[in-house]
Amino acid sequence: MLTTDEDILAKAEDWRKEGKAVAIATVVDTWGSAPRPVGSHLVIDEDGNFLGSVSGGCVEGEVVTEALDVIEAGKPKMLEFGVADETAWRAGLSCGGRIAVYVEKVD
């Protein structure tokens, strides 16, 4: 079963109602071949639980790690992953494109 944007945002709202700190990651730009389109979301709670997808699995581990930092610091981050980026290779992005992901804490 595919997770819809409504499911993802509803989960973020549920986690907030449970008193958990939450971040949301959104694909804001893509270049070339990218696994997920602009507007795709990944929601992450303070325990590292997540729902949704910003990369089809290519870089999500890295995005979750960065989201936990965003939750702790309260400051948003812009992340970029591309085939020429060492971080992207380490995370497994090999589709040949680049993506920009904006991560922010949900208040």
User: Which parts of the chain are beta strand (E)?
Assistant: 22-31, 41-45, 50-52, 77-82, 98-106
Q: Report pTM.
A: 0.85
| pLDDT tens for the chain, residues 1 to 107 | 456 778 899 999 999 999 999 999 999 999 887 888 899 999 999 999 999 999 866 588 999 999 999 999 999 999 998 765 555 455 555 556 789 999 999 98
Q: Are 24 and 16 in contact (CB under 8 A)?
A: no
What confidence score (pLDDT) does residue 81 get? 86
State the residue range of the domain holding 60.
5-106
How many domains is the chain partitioned into structurally? 1
